[in-house]
């Protein structure tokens, strides 16, 4: 579970965000003070105008002032009214600037935490589900009312503006009539006491709302990804029923949270209106008795009206802080998770210009158990049995290496270790004789093309899926498509390389998706090409053309290939045979065919598919 912190922690967290946008924050502070002052002086100036007009009218009727003197007084009042016109102008600019701040914080925070996620290793994605991560970056970082970005800007600055207004208004009201001011303040301590009683319940309710959103996103992500399986098992009704239960729980959580907040705000408004009734009653009596002028009474009541809604902004800000503290905890759980990659580009890391060799020395690896018991923030991590044990391996520049073995033998894990997607639990990996932990990770990955067994296709054009938003000339894109045996089929598309592909490549075949991922890997001009059983989507003829074109265009390319085809393995300079996470043998096709029993089973025409991979 995410760690719950004291309130001061969240205040410091927001202050940290302000430091990164200090110019904008200072502008907001200045505008907050200006708008508050202009708002407060408005009733005073209006009182002055009303009383001045009333007095001057009496003096003029009694002949105590002349027409020019009356006109002079009128001109003064017009200048005051002109000054008062600045208030609406600033009051129009200020909310717009706050809204801009909400969106700015939303964009910045989403970019920041998305960048943090991209730096995590595979263990992180066993702890945090995809739908949950989406909920944290979308729902938790919404700039809508009472969201975290809203709190960072509108919530806090509305409360700041309201605090200034309330202080100035109470001061002005005290100068006008201290007795009425004390009567107006009666609801304040009652409201504070009610909020303190409801504070914990409101926080817990919003926590359940956030968890409910994550649960719903997780379910939808799994359902969309596995829609073909759902349909093949005819389980649409069961899935709909389960999603209905999840939505019902979320509605229950949100209803309770909004009820608590709504009841509090309703009671708060009621107490404020009770205060207004007292002012109407006692203030009216004072005017009738001549103890207060009409202008003073109007000014006092105007100030009271000014602080009614600002008084609601302050508890609203505290409620928003309660909800946003849940979001901050959930987001910081991402930052604080230790499952991160070392991608330091500092002087303590070496950079390499080429990959001449990769050496494994007694490398072992184990996965975390992706069990429900393993949650974010757990101090102890559940371990699965070793996936790879005591791997010793050398891959030289320009070598073609094939990896074969049964299901679960550790082939893909070995490939991920070579790509530095996983880090060994024991042993060391050396690149060009340098420990990989001392090399800037980006300088290794820049030189690797990795083609996974399950290709990931983006909802973009064919060309962008190949270039992958890298600065790659169109000619290179076309060449890579040709090597991947995809160019002829692309020409049949209505828009050619500009054809839009649906999410995950739903409107192209599985073979086309795989060849598209091959072209993408080649477009980066890799020195090391890693492929995970990709030729399963190619027939023997197209596979042979692929390898021939690769050898022609990239004669010095180092290849590490996972395959279940003997014909593919036979083309390699060296074959690695894995069984139960260990290397049982390695050599050429002819050597292994005569000396390795596991490999001999692969060469058997009657061998089952499971025996091959």
Does 79 share its domain with 193? yes
Q: What is the mean pLDDT of residues 348-373?
A: 80
Does 307 share its domain with 448? no
DSSP-derived pairing of the beta strands 582-587 and 426-431: unpaired
Does 407 share its domain with 482? yes
In a domain, 519, yes or no: yes
**At 247, is the pLDDT very low, low, confident or very high (cuts 50, 70, 90)?**
confident
Does 469 share its domain with 568? yes
| Domain ranges, residue 88 | 15-336
Confidence (pLDDT) at 379: 43
Report the C-alpha gap between 186 and 176 in whole angstroms.
18
Residue 230 sits in a domain of what CATH number? Answer: 1.20.1560.10
Does 328 share its domain with 456? no
- The tally of CA atoms less than 13 A away on the side-chain side of residue 110 is 17
Q: What is the mean pLDDT of residues 38-57?
A: 72
Q: Could you tell me the two tokens for 332?
A: 């910081």
In a domain, 351, yes or no: no
Q: What is the mean pLDDT of residues 299-312?
A: 77
**At 74, is the pLDDT very low, low, confident or very high (cuts 50, 70, 90)?**
low
Confidence (pLDDT) at 371: 47
| Residue 583, φ and ψ in degrees, nearest 5 | -85, 115
Report the C-alpha gap between 587 and 592 in whole angstroms.
6
Confidence (pLDDT) at 209: 80
Confidence (pLDDT) at 373: 40
Does 326 share its domain with 402? no
Confidence (pLDDT) at 431: 94
Q: Could you tell me the two tokens for 266?
A: 């309703």
Neighbours of 17 (CB within 10 A): 17
pTM for the model: 0.64
Confidence (pLDDT) at 612: 40
Burial bucket for residue 395 (CB in 10 Å: 0-12, 13-18, 19+): buried
Confidence (pLDDT) at 392: 95
Does 473 share its domain with 594? yes
Confidence (pLDDT) at 576: 93
In a domain, 70, yes or no: yes
Confidence (pLDDT) at 73: 67
Instruction: Assess contact for 283 and 297: CB atoms under 8 A.
Output: yes
Does 492 share its domain with 412? yes
Q: Across-strand partners of 430? A: 359, 435
Confidence (pLDDT) at 18: 92
Q: What is the pLDDT of residues 2-24, one digit of tens each?
A: 566 788 888 899 999 999 999 99
Structural domain count, the chain: 2
Does 80 share its domain with 172? yes
In a domain, 65, yes or no: yes
**At 396, is the pLDDT very low, low, confident or very high (cuts 50, 70, 90)?**
very high
In a domain, 121, yes or no: yes
In a domain, 9, yes or no: no
Percent of all residues in the chain with a pLDDT value above 70, rounded to a whole number: 84
**At 428, is the pLDDT very low, low, confident or very high (cuts 50, 70, 90)?**
very high
**At 317, is the pLDDT very low, low, confident or very high (cuts 50, 70, 90)?**
confident
In a domain, 342, yes or no: no
Q: What is the pLDDT of residues 561-585, one digit of tens each?
A: 998 888 888 889 999 999 889 999 9
Q: What is the mean pLDDT of residues 329-348?
A: 70
Does 475 share its domain with 531? yes
Distance of CA 254 to the CA centre of its chain: 22
Confidence (pLDDT) at 595: 83
Q: Could you tell me the two tokens for 233?
A: 């098992």
Does 294 share its domain with 418? no
Residue 438 sits in a domain of what CATH number? Answer: 3.40.50.300
Query: 378 pLDDT exceeds 70?
Result: no
Of all helices (H) and strands (E), which one includes residue 317?
helix 294-336
Does 268 share its domain with 189? yes
Q: What is the mean pLDDT of residues 259-272?
A: 77
Of all helices (H) and strands (E), which one includes residue 578?
strand 574-579
Confidence (pLDDT) at 161: 87
Q: What is the pLDDT of residues 187-227, one digit of tens each?
A: 777 777 777 777 677 777 877 887 888 788 778 777 776 77
In a domain, 166, yes or no: yes
The mean predicted confidence, pLDDT, of the chain is 81
**At 530, is the pLDDT very low, low, confident or very high (cuts 50, 70, 90)?**
very high
Query: 606 pLDDT exceeds 60?
Result: no
């Amino acid at each position: 579970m995410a760690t719950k912190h004291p309130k001061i922690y969240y205040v410091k967290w927001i202050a940290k965000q302000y430091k990164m946008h200090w110019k904008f924050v200072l502008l907001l502070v200045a505008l907050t003070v200006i708008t508050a002052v202009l708002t407060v002086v408005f009733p005073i100036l209006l009182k002055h105008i009303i009383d001045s007009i009333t007095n001057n009218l009496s003096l003029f009727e009694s002949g105590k002032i002349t027409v020019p003197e009356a006109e002079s007084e009128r001109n003064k009042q017009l200048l005051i009214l002109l000054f008062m016109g600045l208030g609406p102008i600033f009051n129009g600019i200020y909310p717009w600037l706050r809204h801009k701040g909400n969106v700015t914080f939303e964009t910045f925070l989403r970019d920041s935490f998305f960048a943090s996620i991209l730096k995590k290793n595979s263990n992180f994605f066993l702890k945090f589900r995809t739908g949950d991560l989406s909920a944290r970056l979308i729902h938790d970082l919404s700039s809508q009312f009472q969201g975290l970005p809203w709190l960072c800007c509108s919530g806090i600055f509305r409360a700041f503006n309201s605090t200034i207004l309330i202080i100035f208004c109470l001061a002005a009201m005290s100068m006008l009539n201290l007795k009425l001011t004390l009567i107006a303040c009666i609801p304040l301590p009652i409201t504070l006491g009610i909020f303190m009683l409801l504070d914990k319940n409101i926080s817990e309710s919003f926590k359940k709302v956030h968890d409910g959103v994550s649960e719903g996103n997780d379910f939808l992500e799994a359902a969309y990804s596995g829609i073909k399986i759902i349909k093949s098992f005819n389980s649409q009704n069961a899935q709909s029923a389960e999603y209905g239960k999840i939505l019902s729980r979320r509605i229950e959580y949100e209803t309770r949270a909004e009820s608590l907040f709504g009841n509090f705000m309703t009671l708060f408004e009621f107490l404020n209106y009770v205060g207004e009734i007292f002012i109407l009653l006692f203030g009216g009596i004072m005017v009738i008795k001549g103890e207060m002028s009409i202008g003073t009474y109007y000014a006092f009541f105007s100030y009271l009206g000014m602080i009614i809604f600002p008084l609601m902004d302050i508890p609203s800000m505290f409620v928003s802080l309660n909800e946003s503290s849940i979001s901050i905890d959930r987001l910081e759980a991402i930052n604080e998770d230790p499952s991160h990659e070392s991608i330091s580009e500092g002087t303590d890391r070496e950079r390499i210009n080429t990959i001449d060799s990769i050496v494994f020395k007694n490398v072992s690896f184990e996965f975390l158990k992706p069990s429900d018991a393993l949650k974010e923030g757990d101090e102890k991590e559940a371990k699965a049995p070793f996936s790879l044990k005591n791997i010793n391996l050398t891959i030289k520049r320009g070598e073609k290496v094939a990896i074969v073995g049964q299901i679960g033998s550790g082939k893909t894990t070995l490939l991920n270790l070579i790509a530095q997607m996983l880090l060994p639990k024991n042993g060391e990996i050396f690149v060009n004789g340098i420990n990989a932990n001392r090399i800037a990770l980006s300088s290794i990955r820049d030189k690797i093309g990795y083609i996974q067994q399950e290709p990931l296709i983006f909802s973009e054009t064919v060309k962008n899926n190949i270039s992958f938003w890298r600065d790659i000339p169109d000619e290179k894109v076309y060449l890579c498509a040709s090597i991947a045996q995809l160019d002829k089929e692309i020409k049949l598309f209505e828009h050619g390389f500009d054809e839009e592909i649906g999410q995950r490549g739903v409107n192209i075949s599985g073979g086309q998706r795989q060849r598209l991922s091959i072209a993408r890997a080649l477009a980066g001009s890799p020195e090391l090409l890693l492929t995970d059983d990709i030729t399963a989507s190619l027939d023997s003829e197209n596979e042979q053309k692929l390898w021939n074109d690769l050898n022609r265009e990239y004669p010095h390319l180092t290849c590490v290939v996972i395959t279940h085809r003997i014909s593919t393995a036979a083309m390699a300079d060296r074959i690695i045979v894995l069984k139960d996470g260990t290397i049982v043998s390695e050599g050429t096709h002819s050597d292994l065919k005569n000396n390795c029993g596991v490999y001999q089973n692969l060469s058997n025409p009657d061998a089952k598919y499971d025996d091959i991979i």
